[in-house]
Amino acid sequence: MGRRCYAIGDQIIGADDPHLQTRLARLHGTAERPRCLCVPGGVEMYVAHYRHFQIKRMPDTGHRHHPGCPAYAPEATLSGLGGLLGEAVLEPVPGQIELRVDFPWMRRGGHRPAYTAPPHDVAEVQTPGRRMSLLALLHYLFERAGFNRWSPAMAGKRSQRVVQHYLMAAARDIRIKGIALSERLYVPEQFHPEHKADIAQRRRQQLASLHPVADERPLALVVGEFKCCEPGGQGYRLWIKHMPDVPLLLTEATWHRLQRVFAPLFDARDADSSVPVRLMVAALIYAKREHTYAIDAASLMLTTAQWIPVNGVHELPLLQCLVEQRRRFIKPLRYDARPAEAAAFAAALLLDAGDNPVPLHVLSPYMNKIEREAKEKAMKGAWWWGFENTMPSLPRVITTARMSFN
């Protein structure tokens, strides 16, 4: 792609211009908006400030940008996000997100189920005013952090440090039940034995909000990569990678329920596949005692080695092929979509094959009849691959010469 440019007033300035910060400082807080010139006529954006001035995408305008533009986002209807916008996902002003979820931030006695069932376990149609599940929140965080998109420049640059940084940054502008998500979210730092004490101190500081008040126990969200679960004490200990010094406690019954509900995801870790996977955990925790954390609810999500979320093992070879061939793409996420809806979503949207994203579909022989019918309808006239067959050639790369139009 060519140089990325913006129109500010009657002037055009490049994203790498040394005077851009000065120009944005003058613009910040005014009614004037910069325009991204990735397409003729440009697309309005807004100026945000956190440590430095940033140009960000206006709500519901991502699909108006060129697929090759970093500000591009597919229409929400191409993923499970479309079913949540306006009800569970609200953006009253640009950059300020309010999420409505189906779980509390407080534990008030009694027992709640220590897992969040995946969307396909839901048997009823939700009425207006629907709420996000814990899995949908995990999808939203990963999408907002940009981990559902890939470009060749990202190769070798994703690590636990990068994941922690961007997930925490994604939570900065999100509020749930009036509480900033960044105050209740903990993503483990990349662990270094020589810095163990400092890391533990920062973790205790981030989770200090869990101290009980009267008979109420606040909850926090831990997002990390599942390592293992083993018997210990009166129950089980679930270990998160990069948290080798503190487990998350759960009962034996809870662990067996997690294994049963998320059996396909645990099976994926043991599948006869050459493509490595990660199993991510989103756990709502409370302080059982001082600095002792127990799981109140949890959900699991499968990702590639590059932390790109997937809906099943059948999508892994395609995404691995796209990464190896240095292609640019976005992975549409399921959120809380029902099976037939989710089956219609593309496994990936190619961003380097022209002026429009190109959907890529994977047909799994293990889909049920309803899912298969939805998938076959969605992939008519589109690129698709039957998982049990040889993968066909991918659409060729079409390079756009310039990103600015004068």
Residues 173 and 241 occupy one common structural domain: yes
> Which residues in 118-190 belong to E strands, given as ranges?
149-150, 174-176, 179-180, 185-186
Query: First and final CA of the chain: distance in angstroms?
Result: 16
Say if residue 366 is exposed, middle or buried (CB neighbours under 10 Å; 0-12, 13-18, 19+): exposed
The more confidently predicted of residues 237 and 18 is 237
Residue 271's pLDDT band, with cuts at 50, 70 and 90, is: confident
User: Mean pLDDT across the stretch 147-167?
Assistant: 96
Full residue range of the structural domain in which residue 53 is found: 5-64
Residues 83 and 232 reside in one and the same domain = yes
Collect contacts of 198-207 with beta carbons under 8 A, ≥24 apart.
Answer: 200/245, 200/246, 203/243, 203/246, 204/291, 207/287, 207/293
Average pLDDT on 63-76 reads 93
Given a cut of 80, whether residue 384 has pLDDT beyond it is: yes
In angstroms, rounded to a whole number, what is the distance separating the alpha carbons of residues 405 and 382? 30
**Residue 165, pLDDT above cutoff 90:** yes
**167 and 82 belong to one structural domain:** yes
Between 213 and 346, the more confident residue is: 346
Could you tell me what percentage of the chain is helix, strand and coil, using 3-state DSSP and rounding each to the nearest 5?
A: 30, 30, 45
Domain co-membership, 144 together with 202: yes
Which of 240, 118, 125, 104 shows the shortest CA–CA distance to 177?
104
Q: What does pLDDT average to over the chain?
A: 90
| 391/406 Cα distance (integer angstroms) | 41
| 359 in the same domain as 210 | no
Q: Which residue has the higher pLDDT, 406 or 274?
A: 274
Q: What is the mean pLDDT of residues 372-398?
A: 95
Average pLDDT estimate for 77-91: 95
Q: Does 141 share its domain with 229?
A: yes
For residue 403, tell me if it sits in a domain.
no
**404, pLDDT greater than 60:** no
The answer to the question of residue 404 being in a domain is no
Whether 296 and 366 share a structural domain: no
Closest CA to 38 of 72, 11, 13: 72
In a domain, residue 397? The reply is: no
Instruction: Identify the weakest region by mean pLDDT among 55-59, 118-122, 131-135, 292-296.
Output: 118-122
For the segment 68-93, the average pLDDT, to the nearest whole number, is: 93
Give the residue from 282, 304, 326 where a domain finishes.
304
Angle, CA of 382, 388 and 393, to the nearest 5°: 45
Q: Which of 171, 234, 231 is nearest to 206 (CA)?
A: 171
In a domain, 80, yes or no: yes
Question: What is the CA angle 390-342-256, rounded to 5?
Answer: 95
Question: Which has the minimum average pLDDT: 25-29, 156-160, 163-167, 180-184?
Answer: 25-29
Contacts of 125 (CB under 8 A, 6+ apart): none
Q: What is the mean pLDDT of residues 107-111?
A: 65
Q: Domain boundary residue among 278, 304, 330? A: 304
Burial of 134 (0-12, 13-18, 19+ CB in 10 A): buried
**The pLDDT of residue 334 is above 90:** yes
Sign of the dihedral defined by the CA atoms of residues 167, 303, 129, 82, in that order? positive
218 and 322, same domain (yes or no):
no
Q: Please indicate, yes or no, if residue 135 is contained in any of the structural domains.
A: yes
- CA torsion sign for 71, 76, 79, 85 is positive
Residue 175 lies in a domain: yes
> Among residues of the chain, what percentage have pLDDT more than 70?
93
Q: Are residues 177 and 154 in the same domain?
A: yes
Specify which residues 123 forms β-bridges with.
none
Q: Which residues contact 406 (CB under 8 A, 6 or more apart)?
A: 12, 37
Residues 322 and 294 in one domain: no
Distance from C-alpha of 345 to C-alpha of 348, rounded to nearest angstrom = 8
Categorise residue 198: left if φ over 0, alpha if ψ from -120 to 50, beta otherwise.
alpha
Instruction: Give every CB contact of residue 227 below 8 A, 6+ residues apart in sequence.
Output: 239, 240, 241
Q: How many domains are contained in the chain?
A: 3
**Whether residue 152 is found in the same domain as residue 258:** yes
Q: Would you say residue 399 lies in a domain? A: no
Q: Taking Cα atoms as reference points, which of 118, 45, 138 lies closest to residue 339?
A: 118
Instruction: Tell me which of 271, 304, 337 is where a domain ends.
Output: 304
141 and 32, same structural domain? no
Average the pLDDT over 348-370 and give the result: 95
Mean pLDDT across the stretch 51-62? 90
Q: For 65-83, what is the mean pLDDT?
A: 93
Q: Give the pair of three-digit tokens for residue 80.
A: 């499970």
State the pLDDT confidence band at 123, using cuts at 50, 70 and 90. very low
Rounded to whole angstroms, how far apart are CA atoms 327 and 68? 11
> Does 127 have pLDDT greater than 80?
no
145 phi, psi to nearest 5 deg = -80, -10
Q: How confident is the model at residue 120 (pLDDT cuts 50, 70, 90)?
A: low
**Cα gap 380→40, rounded to integer Å:** 31
Mean pLDDT of 396-402: 73
